[in-house]
Structures are given as structure tokens and as C-alpha cells.
A and B are shown apart, each in its own frame.
Chain A
Amino acid sequence: NAGVTQTPKFRVLKTGQSMTLLCAQDMNHEYMYWYRQDPGMGLRLIHYSVGEGTTAKGEVPDGYNVSRLKKQNFLLGLESAAPSQTSVYFCASNNDLGYEKLFFGSGTQLSVL
């Protein structure tokens, strides 16, 4: 039972490079989320999706884009990476509007040099 799987687990980018983080869940969850975690800042919501084909902005969406073409996948893209995007990124999902617990992936450590 895989749950929520994030790939890659680690990545180093140079400023200006682009990349896509993939989140896959096998629990048939409707709702999926991308968070970033920075020291002393807790987790902050980047984008979220309430169903296949939908996306919405969270608290810190600038510099990121997302897509939810398939229900089980939620992609987070960085078009032109900046050092300020160095962070740990977490994907999460659930099936009850966030009122039940979130199922988290194991995180992606991204460094932008």
C-alpha cells in the first residue's frame, strides 16, 4: 500500500533551471495539496486541487505552477528556479475536504544554487 509517493526525493538545481515534482496517490483521494516547509516557518500551502482537472492557489503560489490531469497525480512545476525556492516540498491528499487527516508524502528536498 504505497499511499502518497513523491519523486524525486532530492534535487539540486541551478538558478533559472526548470523542473517538475511528481506526486502520486493510490487511495482515490479527491483533494491534493502541495506545501513547502522552511526552517522556522512551518508548512505553507502552495497550490491545491479539489478534483481532477482543477487547481487553486494557496498561500505562496508565486513561481510555481501545478496540474491535475489525472486524479491520482498532482504535478508541481518550477519554470525558472530561484534560490528562494530552496525548501522541502510535501505533497498531501485526503478525501474529506481536509477535515480528516492528511496523508503526506515523504517530502522532496530541493536546493537551488
Chain B
Amino acid sequence: AQTVTQSQPEMSVQEAETVTLSCTYDTSESDYYLFWYKQPPSRQMILVIRQEAYKQQNATENRFSVNFQKAAKSFSLKISDSQLGDAAMYFCAYCSNYKLTFGKGTLLTVNP
């Protein structure tokens, strides 16, 4: 079974600084997709960024970017110029055969 590991239960960052959230996964598949979802206190699940495993180029979405290392099965999220609104729980997720497996999450605090 696929597993997703987020080794940092909590992280904090100063406003305007950069922070990197770690994620590793275990799979024997060659074709899959990876996601980062954000869950603010409102509980809503919000897609932050998506990466196809067959693409070598790292995905970027404005201040959010990933470092995808397929051989190492690593998928970290970098948040640049952190804002107070970035404070949330962040979940890494792996998708193969239409089933999404989530990590346990990293709680990000942004300090003013």
C-alpha cells in the first residue's frame, strides 16, 4: 500500500520569509500524481499545487513551488514571501488508480 509521510508535525515561519515543508512517499507505481492541500481553520480543503510524476519540471503556483525528486520519492513544498493567510494545516497527498492517500499533515504558523 502507498504511504505518505510528513515528518514535520509543526513548522513556523516569519512573515515574508520562506519555509519548506517536507513530504516523502512510498510506491511501486511509475505513473502517479502528487498534491499539496491546505486546510485553514475554516476546515475547507484547498488545492495548493499539483505535480505529475512523469514531468521532470517542478510545478509552481505563484509563491508556492515544489521540489520533486522522483528517485528519492520526495515532494517538498516551498512557500516564499510567507503571508499571515498561509497559516494552515498542509497535507501532502499521493494519487494512483483514482485513490488519494494523504499524509498526516504539517501545521504551519506564520509569525508577524
- Which positions in A face B, CB cutoff 8 Å? 31, 33, 35, 40-45, 48, 50, 58-59, 88, 90, 92, 97-102, 104, 106-107
- Which positions in B face A, CB cutoff 8 Å? 4, 9, 33, 35, 43-45, 47, 50, 52, 91, 95, 97-105
Which of chain B's residues have a CB closer than 8 A to the CB of A104? Answer: 44-45
Which of chain B's residues have a CB closer than 8 A to the CB of A40? Answer: 9, 104-105
Number of A-B contacts (CB under 8 A): 50
Task: Decide: B98 and A97 in contact? CB cutoff 8 A.
Answer: yes
Which of chain B's residues have a CB closer than 8 A to the CB of A97? Answer: 97-98
Task: Decide: A48 and B102 in contact? CB cutoff 8 A.
Answer: no
Q: Which 4 pairs show the lowest CB-CB distances between chains A and B?
A: A97-B98, A104-B45, A98-B98, A101-B47
Task: Decide: A48 and B99 in contact? CB cutoff 8 A.
Answer: yes
